[in-house]
Protein backbone atom coordinates (compact mmCIF):
# COMPACT_ATOMS: atom_id res chain seq x y z
CA UNK A 1 0.00 0.00 0.00
CA UNK A 2 1.33 3.45 -0.92
CA UNK A 3 2.22 5.57 2.09
CA UNK A 4 0.65 9.02 2.37
CA UNK A 5 3.00 11.91 1.59
CA UNK A 6 4.76 13.67 4.44
CA UNK A 7 3.63 17.30 4.24
CA UNK A 8 5.68 20.12 5.71
CA UNK A 9 3.65 22.54 7.81
CA UNK A 10 3.97 25.67 9.89
CA UNK A 11 1.91 27.26 12.65
CA UNK A 12 0.59 30.82 12.82
CA UNK A 13 -1.74 32.75 15.10
CA UNK A 14 -2.75 31.87 18.64
CA UNK A 15 -1.52 28.53 19.97
CA UNK A 16 -4.49 28.58 22.35
CA UNK A 17 -7.01 29.24 19.57
CA UNK A 18 -9.30 26.79 17.85
CA UNK A 19 -7.24 24.81 15.30
CA UNK A 20 -7.70 25.33 11.56
CA UNK A 21 -5.70 23.53 8.88
CA UNK A 22 -5.04 25.23 5.53
CA UNK A 23 -4.06 23.66 2.18
CA UNK A 24 -3.44 25.61 -1.00
CA UNK A 25 -3.88 25.19 -4.73
CA UNK A 26 -1.87 23.20 -7.23
CA UNK A 27 1.39 25.05 -7.92
CA UNK A 28 1.11 27.33 -4.90
CA UNK A 29 2.72 27.32 -1.48
CA UNK A 30 1.81 28.52 2.00
CA UNK A 31 2.37 32.03 0.60
CA UNK A 32 -1.09 31.88 -0.98
CA UNK A 33 -2.55 32.48 2.51
CA UNK A 34 -0.38 35.49 3.42
CA UNK A 35 -3.37 37.84 3.20
CA UNK A 36 -5.59 35.66 5.40
CA UNK A 37 -3.44 34.59 8.33
CA UNK A 38 -2.96 38.02 9.99
CA UNK A 39 -6.73 38.66 10.04
CA UNK A 40 -7.42 35.14 11.38
CA UNK A 41 -4.71 35.37 14.02
CA UNK A 42 -7.05 34.36 16.83
CA UNK A 43 -7.07 30.81 15.45
CA UNK A 44 -4.34 28.21 15.72
CA UNK A 45 -3.56 28.13 12.00
CA UNK A 46 -1.77 25.01 10.74
CA UNK A 47 -0.63 25.65 7.16
CA UNK A 48 0.52 22.71 5.04
CA UNK A 49 2.20 22.53 1.64
CA UNK A 50 1.27 19.96 -1.02
CA UNK A 51 3.93 17.37 -1.87
CA UNK A 52 6.77 18.93 -3.81
CA UNK A 53 5.33 22.40 -3.25
CA UNK A 54 6.74 25.11 -1.00
CA UNK A 55 8.63 23.49 1.86
CA UNK A 56 7.27 19.94 1.38
CA UNK A 57 9.53 17.28 -0.06
CA UNK A 58 8.57 15.53 -3.31
CA UNK A 59 6.16 12.63 -3.39
CA UNK A 60 7.56 9.13 -3.83
CA UNK A 61 4.67 7.48 -5.59
CA UNK A 62 1.24 8.03 -7.11
CA UNK A 63 -1.10 10.54 -5.50
CA UNK A 64 -4.84 10.41 -4.88
CA UNK A 65 -7.18 12.60 -2.86
CA UNK A 66 -7.21 9.87 -0.23
CA UNK A 67 -3.43 9.87 0.08
CA UNK A 68 -3.35 13.67 0.21
CA UNK A 69 -6.09 13.60 2.84
CA UNK A 70 -4.12 11.10 4.91
CA UNK A 71 -1.13 13.41 4.54
CA UNK A 72 -3.18 16.25 6.06
CA UNK A 73 -4.26 13.96 8.92
CA UNK A 74 -0.58 13.20 9.46
CA UNK A 75 -0.01 16.94 9.89
CA UNK A 76 -2.82 17.15 12.45
CA UNK A 77 -1.42 14.13 14.30
CA UNK A 78 2.02 15.72 14.38
CA UNK A 79 0.48 18.93 15.72
CA UNK A 80 -1.41 16.98 18.40
CA UNK A 81 -4.80 18.02 17.01
CA UNK A 82 -7.67 15.53 16.99
CA UNK A 83 -10.15 17.72 15.11
CA UNK A 84 -9.70 20.94 13.17
CA UNK A 85 -11.59 23.30 10.93
CA UNK A 86 -10.40 23.10 7.32
CA UNK A 87 -9.72 25.81 4.73
CA UNK A 88 -8.68 24.82 1.23
CA UNK A 89 -8.48 26.36 -2.22
CA UNK A 90 -8.64 24.40 -5.49
CA UNK A 91 -7.10 20.94 -4.94
CA UNK A 92 -6.67 21.86 -1.29
CA UNK A 93 -10.45 22.24 -1.06
CA UNK A 94 -10.99 18.97 -2.94
CA UNK A 95 -8.94 17.22 -0.28
CA UNK A 96 -11.05 18.93 2.39
CA UNK A 97 -14.29 17.72 0.81
CA UNK A 98 -12.89 14.18 0.67
CA UNK A 99 -11.92 14.36 4.36
CA UNK A 100 -15.34 15.72 5.38
CA UNK A 101 -16.95 12.75 3.63
CA UNK A 102 -14.54 9.99 4.69
CA UNK A 103 -12.92 11.24 7.93
CA UNK A 104 -15.71 13.42 9.39
CA UNK A 105 -14.52 12.93 12.96
CA UNK A 106 -11.37 14.93 12.14
CA UNK A 107 -13.01 17.94 10.43
CA UNK A 108 -14.96 20.56 12.39
CA UNK A 109 -16.04 23.05 9.71
CA UNK A 110 -15.12 23.13 6.04
CA UNK A 111 -14.34 26.09 3.78
CA UNK A 112 -14.00 25.10 0.12
CA UNK A 113 -12.68 27.92 -2.09
CA UNK A 114 -12.56 28.02 -5.90
CA UNK A 115 -12.93 24.30 -6.40
CA UNK A 116 -15.01 21.62 -8.09
CA UNK A 117 -16.44 18.16 -7.34
CA UNK A 118 -15.24 16.78 -10.70
CA UNK A 119 -13.27 18.08 -13.70
CA UNK A 120 -12.33 17.01 -17.22
CA UNK A 121 -10.09 13.98 -16.63
CA UNK A 122 -8.48 14.09 -20.07
CA UNK A 123 -7.36 17.70 -19.67
CA UNK A 124 -5.67 16.90 -16.35
CA UNK A 125 -3.98 13.80 -17.72
CA UNK A 126 -2.69 15.94 -20.59
CA UNK A 127 -1.30 18.52 -18.17
CA UNK A 128 0.40 15.78 -16.15
CA UNK A 129 2.05 14.50 -19.33
CA UNK A 130 3.32 17.96 -20.31
CA UNK A 131 4.79 18.56 -16.85
CA UNK A 132 6.48 15.17 -16.77
CA UNK A 133 8.00 15.85 -20.18
CA UNK A 134 8.86 19.55 -20.00
CA UNK A 135 8.77 20.49 -16.30
CA UNK A 136 6.40 22.72 -14.35
CA UNK A 137 7.87 25.84 -15.93
CA UNK A 138 6.16 24.86 -19.17
CA UNK A 139 2.73 25.51 -17.64
CA UNK A 140 3.56 28.20 -15.04
CA UNK A 141 2.53 31.19 -17.14
CA UNK A 142 -0.80 29.65 -18.13
CA UNK A 143 -1.48 28.62 -14.52
CA UNK A 144 -0.90 32.09 -13.08
CA UNK A 145 -3.04 33.60 -15.85
CA UNK A 146 -5.98 31.69 -14.34
CA UNK A 147 -5.18 32.74 -10.80
CA UNK A 148 -5.63 36.51 -11.27
CA UNK A 149 -8.01 38.58 -13.36
CA UNK A 150 -6.33 40.34 -16.30
CA UNK A 151 -7.00 43.76 -14.78
CA UNK A 152 -5.41 42.81 -11.44
CA UNK A 153 -2.46 41.09 -13.14
CA UNK A 154 -1.76 44.15 -15.29
CA UNK A 155 -1.69 46.37 -12.21
CA UNK A 156 0.55 44.00 -10.19
CA UNK A 157 3.26 42.58 -12.48
CA UNK A 158 5.60 41.90 -9.54
CA UNK A 159 3.01 39.61 -7.94
CA UNK A 160 2.47 37.80 -11.24
CA UNK A 161 6.22 37.20 -11.51
CA UNK A 162 6.43 35.99 -7.90
CA UNK A 163 3.58 33.56 -8.39
CA UNK A 164 5.13 32.32 -11.61
CA UNK A 165 8.37 31.55 -9.75
CA UNK A 166 6.47 29.68 -7.05
CA UNK A 167 4.65 27.54 -9.62
CA UNK A 168 7.81 26.86 -11.64
CA UNK A 169 9.61 25.85 -8.44
CA UNK A 170 7.26 22.94 -7.73
CA UNK A 171 8.60 19.41 -8.15
CA UNK A 172 7.48 18.11 -11.57
CA UNK A 173 6.52 14.57 -10.54
CA UNK A 174 4.64 15.81 -7.45
CA UNK A 175 2.79 18.38 -9.54
CA UNK A 176 1.94 15.73 -12.15
CA UNK A 177 0.83 13.35 -9.39
CA UNK A 178 -1.59 15.99 -8.12
CA UNK A 179 -2.88 16.37 -11.69
CA UNK A 180 -3.49 12.61 -11.75
CA UNK A 181 -5.39 12.87 -8.46
CA UNK A 182 -7.66 15.55 -9.94
CA UNK A 183 -8.16 13.50 -13.11
CA UNK A 184 -9.32 10.51 -11.06
CA UNK A 185 -11.52 12.62 -8.77
CA UNK A 186 -15.30 12.44 -8.61
CA UNK A 187 -16.59 13.84 -5.33
CA UNK A 188 -20.21 14.07 -6.44
CA UNK A 189 -21.29 10.76 -4.82
CA UNK A 190 -19.68 11.89 -1.52
CA UNK A 191 -21.49 15.20 -1.13
CA UNK A 192 -24.78 13.89 0.25
CA UNK A 193 -23.07 12.09 3.14
CA UNK A 194 -21.25 15.21 4.39
CA UNK A 195 -22.72 16.61 7.61
CA UNK A 196 -19.83 19.02 8.27
CA UNK A 197 -20.90 22.70 8.34
CA UNK A 198 -19.65 23.96 4.99
CA UNK A 199 -18.97 27.34 3.38
CA UNK A 200 -18.27 27.32 -0.36
CA UNK A 201 -16.60 30.40 -1.84
CA UNK A 202 -16.51 30.75 -5.63
CA UNK A 203 -14.98 33.56 -7.70
CA UNK A 204 -17.03 35.37 -10.31
CA UNK A 205 -14.26 35.38 -12.94
CA UNK A 206 -12.57 32.07 -12.18
CA UNK A 207 -11.77 30.33 -15.50
CA UNK A 208 -10.47 27.18 -13.78
CA UNK A 209 -13.48 26.40 -11.54
CA UNK A 210 -16.33 28.78 -12.45
CA UNK A 211 -19.09 29.45 -9.89
CA UNK A 212 -21.29 26.61 -11.19
CA UNK A 213 -18.75 24.15 -9.79
CA UNK A 214 -19.02 25.72 -6.35
CA UNK A 215 -22.79 25.73 -6.67
CA UNK A 216 -22.77 21.99 -7.34
CA UNK A 217 -20.86 21.40 -4.11
CA UNK A 218 -23.11 23.70 -2.06
CA UNK A 219 -26.27 22.10 -3.44
CA UNK A 220 -24.92 18.62 -2.76
CA UNK A 221 -24.03 19.22 0.93
CA UNK A 222 -27.01 19.72 3.22
CA UNK A 223 -26.99 23.19 4.76
CA UNK A 224 -23.92 24.40 2.84
CA UNK A 225 -23.72 28.08 1.93
CA UNK A 226 -22.35 29.43 -1.37
CA UNK A 227 -20.89 32.94 -1.69
CA UNK A 228 -19.55 34.29 -4.99
CA UNK A 229 -16.79 36.89 -4.59
CA UNK A 230 -14.87 39.06 -7.07
CA UNK A 231 -11.68 37.67 -8.54
CA UNK A 232 -10.26 34.66 -10.35
CA UNK A 233 -8.91 31.31 -9.13
CA UNK A 234 -6.70 32.87 -6.44
CA UNK A 235 -9.60 34.81 -4.92
CA UNK A 236 -8.12 34.76 -1.39
CA UNK A 237 -5.19 36.76 -2.77
CA UNK A 238 -7.08 39.10 -5.06
CA UNK A 239 -10.12 39.76 -2.79
CA UNK A 240 -8.71 39.33 0.73
CA UNK A 241 -11.04 41.75 2.55
CA UNK A 242 -14.19 39.95 1.40
CA UNK A 243 -12.74 36.46 1.81
CA UNK A 244 -11.34 37.26 5.26
CA UNK A 245 -14.69 38.63 6.46
CA UNK A 246 -16.37 35.43 5.30
CA UNK A 247 -13.75 33.27 7.00
CA UNK A 248 -13.92 35.24 10.25
CA UNK A 249 -17.69 35.01 10.33
CA UNK A 250 -17.70 31.30 9.62
CA UNK A 251 -14.67 30.15 11.63
CA UNK A 252 -13.93 32.61 14.40
CA UNK A 253 -17.44 33.61 15.48
CA UNK A 254 -18.85 30.08 15.81
CA UNK A 255 -15.79 29.08 17.80
CA UNK A 256 -16.33 31.98 20.20
CA UNK A 257 -20.02 31.14 20.47
CA UNK A 258 -19.22 27.48 21.21
CA UNK A 259 -16.73 28.51 23.86
CA UNK A 260 -19.21 30.85 25.55
CA UNK A 261 -21.99 28.26 25.46
CA UNK A 262 -19.64 25.57 26.70
CA UNK A 263 -18.40 27.69 29.57
CA UNK A 264 -21.97 28.45 30.63
CA UNK A 265 -22.92 24.76 30.70
CA UNK A 266 -19.64 23.80 32.35
CA UNK A 267 -20.34 26.25 35.16
CA UNK A 268 -23.96 25.14 35.51
CA UNK A 269 -23.02 21.46 35.78
CA UNK A 270 -19.71 21.53 37.65
CA UNK A 271 -20.17 24.70 39.68
CA UNK A 272 -18.45 28.08 39.60
CA UNK A 273 -15.88 27.17 42.25
CA UNK A 274 -14.54 24.19 40.29
CA UNK A 275 -14.45 26.05 36.98
CA UNK A 276 -12.82 29.11 38.52
CA UNK A 277 -10.08 26.90 39.98
CA UNK A 278 -9.56 25.18 36.61
CA UNK A 279 -9.33 28.51 34.79
CA UNK A 280 -6.94 29.97 37.37
CA UNK A 281 -4.70 26.89 37.14
CA UNK A 282 -4.54 26.94 33.32
CA UNK A 283 -1.03 27.38 31.93
CA UNK A 284 0.50 27.52 28.47
CA UNK A 285 0.91 23.75 28.67
CA UNK A 286 -2.80 22.94 28.97
CA UNK A 287 -4.50 26.07 27.57
CA UNK A 288 -5.35 24.36 24.27
CA UNK A 289 -6.64 21.32 26.15
CA UNK A 290 -8.86 23.46 28.39
CA UNK A 291 -10.27 25.24 25.33
CA UNK A 292 -10.88 21.84 23.71
CA UNK A 293 -12.79 20.65 26.79
CA UNK A 294 -14.90 23.79 26.91
CA UNK A 295 -15.73 23.92 23.20
CA UNK A 296 -16.00 20.21 22.42
CA UNK A 297 -17.20 18.42 25.55
CA UNK A 298 -19.26 21.26 27.02
CA UNK A 299 -19.95 23.50 24.02
CA UNK A 300 -20.86 20.69 21.63
CA UNK A 301 -21.87 17.50 23.49
CA UNK A 302 -23.41 18.85 26.71
CA UNK A 303 -25.25 21.62 24.86
CA UNK A 304 -26.93 19.07 22.54
CA UNK A 305 -30.54 18.88 23.73
CA UNK A 306 -31.11 15.39 22.32
CA UNK A 307 -30.33 14.12 25.83
CA UNK A 308 -31.23 16.14 28.91
CA UNK A 309 -28.65 16.83 31.60
CA UNK A 310 -30.12 14.28 34.01
CA UNK A 311 -29.58 11.55 31.42
CA UNK A 312 -26.07 12.78 30.65
CA UNK A 313 -25.20 12.67 34.35
CA UNK A 314 -26.49 9.09 34.58
CA UNK A 315 -24.34 8.10 31.60
CA UNK A 316 -21.30 9.93 32.97
CA UNK A 317 -21.50 8.25 36.38
CA UNK A 318 -21.99 4.83 34.77
CA UNK A 319 -19.04 5.29 32.41
CA UNK A 320 -16.71 6.68 35.08
CA UNK A 321 -17.66 3.74 37.32
CA UNK A 322 -16.96 1.23 34.54
CA UNK A 323 -13.65 2.90 33.69
CA UNK A 324 -12.71 3.05 37.38
CA UNK A 325 -12.03 6.76 37.02
CA UNK A 326 -12.37 7.30 40.77
CA UNK A 327 -10.64 10.69 40.64
CA UNK A 328 -13.42 12.05 38.36
CA UNK A 329 -16.39 10.53 40.19
CA UNK A 330 -16.72 12.96 43.11
CA UNK A 331 -16.99 15.92 40.73
CA UNK A 332 -19.72 14.22 38.67
CA UNK A 333 -21.68 12.93 41.66
CA UNK A 334 -21.97 16.55 42.76
CA UNK A 335 -22.80 17.53 39.18
CA UNK A 336 -25.58 14.91 39.09
CA UNK A 337 -27.19 16.54 42.13
CA UNK A 338 -27.10 19.90 40.32
CA UNK A 339 -28.68 18.27 37.30
CA UNK A 340 -31.63 17.07 39.37
CA UNK A 341 -30.77 13.48 40.31
CA UNK A 342 -31.64 12.35 43.83
CA UNK A 343 -29.17 10.38 45.98
CA UNK A 344 -31.34 7.30 45.47
CA UNK A 345 -31.13 7.69 41.68
CA UNK A 346 -27.35 8.10 41.81
CA UNK A 347 -27.09 4.91 43.87
CA UNK A 348 -29.39 3.11 41.41
CA UNK A 349 -27.16 4.10 38.48
CA UNK A 350 -24.10 2.66 40.25
CA UNK A 351 -26.06 -0.47 41.25
CA UNK A 352 -27.15 -0.93 37.62
CA UNK A 353 -23.56 -0.46 36.41
CA UNK A 354 -22.40 -3.28 38.70
CA UNK A 355 -24.31 -5.78 36.56
CA UNK A 356 -22.39 -4.83 33.42
CA UNK A 357 -19.07 -3.44 34.65
CA UNK A 358 -18.41 -5.58 37.72
CA UNK A 359 -19.02 -5.40 41.45
CA UNK A 360 -15.54 -4.18 42.50
CA UNK A 361 -15.76 -1.11 40.29
CA UNK A 362 -19.30 -0.37 41.45
CA UNK A 363 -18.39 -0.92 45.10
CA UNK A 364 -15.62 1.69 44.88
CA UNK A 365 -17.98 4.08 43.12
CA UNK A 366 -20.67 3.56 45.75
CA UNK A 367 -18.25 4.41 48.57
CA UNK A 368 -17.19 7.58 46.73
CA UNK A 369 -20.83 8.55 46.19
CA UNK A 370 -21.67 8.00 49.87
CA UNK A 371 -18.79 10.21 50.91
CA UNK A 372 -19.71 13.02 48.50
CA UNK A 373 -23.42 12.87 49.35
CA UNK A 374 -22.64 12.95 53.05
CA UNK A 375 -20.66 16.13 52.54
Domains (ranges, CATH) in the chain? 9-254 (3.40.50.1820), 305-375 (1.20.1290.10)
Task: Give pTM, 2 decimals.
Answer: 0.71
Closest CA to 110 of 17, 206, 194, 42: 194
> C-alpha 317: how far from its chain's center?
31
Higher pLDDT, 180 or 3: 180
pLDDT of residue 288: 73
pLDDT in tens, 279-289: 888 877 777 78
- Give the pLDDT band (50/70/90) at residue 255: low
Q: What are phi and psi of 280, to 5 degrees?
A: -65, -30
Q: At residue 31, does pLDDT exceed 90? A: yes
- State pLDDT tens for residues 120-152: 999 999 999 999 999 999 999 999 999 999 999
Tell me the C-alpha distance between 263 and 269, whole Å.
10
What is the share, in percent, of the chain residues with pLDDT greater than 70?
Answer: 98
Distance CA(298)–CA(269), nearest Å, equals 10
**Which residues, in sequence order, are bridge partners of residue 48?**
9, 23
Amino acid sequence: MTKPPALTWSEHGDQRGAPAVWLGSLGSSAAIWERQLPDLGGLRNIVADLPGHGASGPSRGPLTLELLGDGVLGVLDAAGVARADYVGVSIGAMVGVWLAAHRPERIGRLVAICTAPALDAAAWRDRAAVVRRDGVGAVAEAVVARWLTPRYAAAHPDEVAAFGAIVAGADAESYAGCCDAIAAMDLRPDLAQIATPTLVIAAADDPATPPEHGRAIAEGIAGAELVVVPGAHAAPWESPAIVNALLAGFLAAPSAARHAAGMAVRRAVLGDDHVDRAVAATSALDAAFQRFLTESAWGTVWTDETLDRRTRSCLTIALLTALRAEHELPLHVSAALRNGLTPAEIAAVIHHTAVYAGTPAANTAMQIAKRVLAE
